[in-house]
Structure 1
């Protein structure tokens, strides 16, 4: 786990740090959503033994130059290019991709933009997969997985990340981890692990709950996780509480499962939460 203060939030840098900390004894697949498209991150994963990546990349004019050149249709191809941090005539003649690195950005630097931790020039090879979604839009991912993984396999693997996304949503909002209540790293780490323990406990309890499904209902039903967390907290606070009673109580609170339901993302600018002071003259 990597803790970063809000003004210096760098998710790509945090993932690079986690890669450097871990030695993967078994095969591991790093699946990342938009926002993790980084030459430096991809190079770190390529250099890591037993690690592969599957990262969603942009497909517009702001995408990686070699990806932006590809036609907007379903495809599965390999692209090769070379990263360089210099702009010599030889680099330009060879068509190298120039990565503008600030002078203060050295290896393992904390500078987010233009960070590059490897020699220059650096050859890179990616597999780019683009598939058509049910809504008629295309989705593009870059991966290091071999051709034995078909385009359908790549699509299914990327879709598996959604369970992690929903788990983080429950962890942040249902467990109340949106805001931390301490300033020190130790206190923040303690609060994160406490919330994670409560999340795992409630999730494990929910797996044991038997939900009765209506015989002629339109939807199937599942446990209301928000209510389950509240009931689990009350269970832990109550001495000599009965586990069977907890399972029955959770089973009373259910929500319908609506497959393929999509809501338009309502993006709002988050304002600064300042402190109000009253000064008496």
Structure 2
């Protein structure tokens, strides 16, 4: 069996096994998926994975070209209501485990953790309902203008070298906790190789540093705040010059220890709770280690020139990588690779169509989001088998992800997947140049949900 045949067969093998054990993921195992229907468990999983951003009836028509085999949208939704979203999360894990020879970066699996918001169709009863600021300027009564919106925050663990999502933890935007989600995903990670995980400034915490130091095979690179009030005081005191230092931070959650040793860092994570209810403004941090713990890490300060303004900026990274293996010059290149997870979010949302949900029910939305993560991995694994000749070209070229996603969906939902050679040839016909070093400002504005009533027919 060639690699071109393997990807769909690996996915089919995983989905067939999931359908075989569907009773472990059904809400009522004794009766769900027990009757013979047009849409059994296997067909339901395949149909859900093959969906894109069209209206539901159009999706079913594409999945079942023969009218005699097609079911109504209501019938599909009834089958969907029987399944726990955990089913598709398990399929994501199992499909990732079929990658036997992953690409490595200097002997490490190169990972990144970040979060992204997905706008959902508005539902006042949704657990994902929150208030968002609609404009930056205050209104006449000095109150910021806000509006209700449904946002789901996806905390995602991404494999940069292999272009695939390894894990995802969904939270409400109102009560999201990215640091706890990162710890949870790292603790659940089972990899045979050593790995490096890259994280941005929002993940700066001593709790995460110590988890990275104690977890097996774990290496981290976390960008730190330098000027804000929440910056670590030792980091704010660093001189404006490139440096590479080993630092130890003494951490305690004891008020007594902090009083005896003012230089300690106190974390508001009490061992005991003295009240059943606290003020909504009361905040506690996470600390899962001893009452006193020295946290060791390497601090790297880098000089970055802004080509637009011509000014000099400084960035600080915390890591437990060796300075012999990753000197200061290499750390700058390494952290720059973290941007790939940001690019993957754009492909996931707007090329694959993950922002186009087909329901208002929270569990249905989670199912659809996990299925899009799976298909993102499938498309990228097939793209890795394609080749584009760069000879006699001014710029190197890469496969167009959007066209590849459309082709893969078309082959997967029909019997055409038995001819992978033709599929690869089609994908290789669509490519575009890669011009490195281009930079554009990011327009930070709220992206509304794609309405259920306005979809392409």
* Structure 2 residue matching 1:140: 3-state secondary structure: strand
Aligned counterpart in structure 2 of residue 128 of structure 1, from 299, 303, 323: 299
Task: State the TM-score, normalized to the length of structure 2.
Answer: 0.52
Aligned counterpart in structure 2 of residue 71 of structure 1, from 231, 239, 243: 239
Give the deviation of 1:170 after TM superposition. 1.7
Q: What is the rounded CA distance, in whole Å, between the counterparts of 2:341 and 2:400 in structure 1?
A: 18
State whether residues 221 and 256 of structure 1, in contact with CA within 8 Å, keep that contact through their aligned partners in structure 2: yes
* Structure 2 residue matching 1:139: 3-state secondary structure: strand
State whether residues 258 and 265 of structure 2, in contact with CA within 8 Å, keep that contact through their aligned partners in structure 1: no
* Structure 2 residue matching 1:7: 3-state secondary structure: coil
Give the deviation of 1:250 after TM superposition. 2.7
Aligned CA-pair RMSD = 3.3
Give the deviation of 1:127 after TM superposition. 0.9
Q: What is the rounded CA distance, in whole Å, between the counterparts of 2:220 and 2:337 in structure 1?
A: 14
State whether residues 84 and 96 of structure 1, in contact with CA within 8 Å, keep that contact through their aligned partners in structure 2: yes
Aligned counterpart in structure 1 of residue 265 of structure 2, from 75, 97, 119: 97
* Structure 2 residue matching 1:171: 3-state secondary structure: helix
Q: What is the rounded CA distance, in whole Å, between the counterparts of 2:268 and 2:315 in structure 1?
A: 27
Question: Which 5+ residue runs of structure 1 have no aligned equivalent?
Answer: 106-110, 276-281
Aligned counterpart in structure 2 of residue 173 of structure 1, from 350, 363, 387: 350
Task: State the TM-score, normalized to the length of structure 1.
Answer: 0.80
State whether residues 13 and 112 of structure 1, in contact with CA within 8 Å, keep that contact through their aligned partners in structure 2: no
Aligned counterpart in structure 1 of residue 286 of structure 2, from 115, 122, 126: 115
* Structure 2 residue matching 1:88: 3-state secondary structure: helix
Which residue of structure 2 aligns with residue 40 of structure 1?
207
State whether residues 80 and 125 of structure 1, in contact with CA within 8 Å, keep that contact through their aligned partners in structure 2: yes
State whether residues 24 and 51 of structure 1, in contact with CA within 8 Å, keep that contact through their aligned partners in structure 2: no
Which residue of structure 2 aligns with residue 279 of structure 1?
none
Instruction: Between 32-41 and 249-258, report the one with greater CA deviation.
Output: 249-258
Which residue of structure 2 aligns with residue 254 of structure 1?
431
Q: What is the rounded CA distance, in whole Å, between the counterparts of 2:248 and 2:347 in structure 1?
A: 40
Q: Does 1:233 align with 2:409?
A: yes
Question: Over residues 1-53 of structure 1, what are the superposed CA-to-partner deviations in whole Å (9 max), with x where a residue is unaligned?
Answer: 43323332222111111233346664332221221111221122223233222
Which residue of structure 2 aligns with residue 19 of structure 1?
186
Residues 184, 89 of structure 1: CA spacing in aligned structure 2 closer, same or farther, 3 A cutoff?
closer
Give the deviation of 1:202 after TM superposition. 2.0
1:145-160 paired onto structure 2 within 5 Å: 145-148=321-324, 149-160=326-337
Question: Which 5+ residue runs of structure 2 have no aligned equivalent?
Answer: 1-167, 275-281, 307-311, 453-457
Q: What is the rounded CA distance, in whole Å, between the counterparts of 2:263 and 2:414 in structure 1?
A: 68
Which residue of structure 2 aligns with residue 49 of structure 1?
216
Residues 234, 26 of structure 1: CA spacing in aligned structure 2 closer, same or farther, 3 A cutoff?
closer
State whether residues 66 and 79 of structure 1, in contact with CA within 8 Å, keep that contact through their aligned partners in structure 2: no
Q: Does 1:87 align with 2:87?
A: no
| Count, aligned residues | 269
State whether residues 222 and 255 of structure 1, in contact with CA within 8 Å, keep that contact through their aligned partners in structure 2: yes
Question: Over residues 249-268 of structure 1, what are the superposed CA-to-partner deviations in whole Å (9 max), with x where a residue is unaligned?
Answer: 33333222111111111111
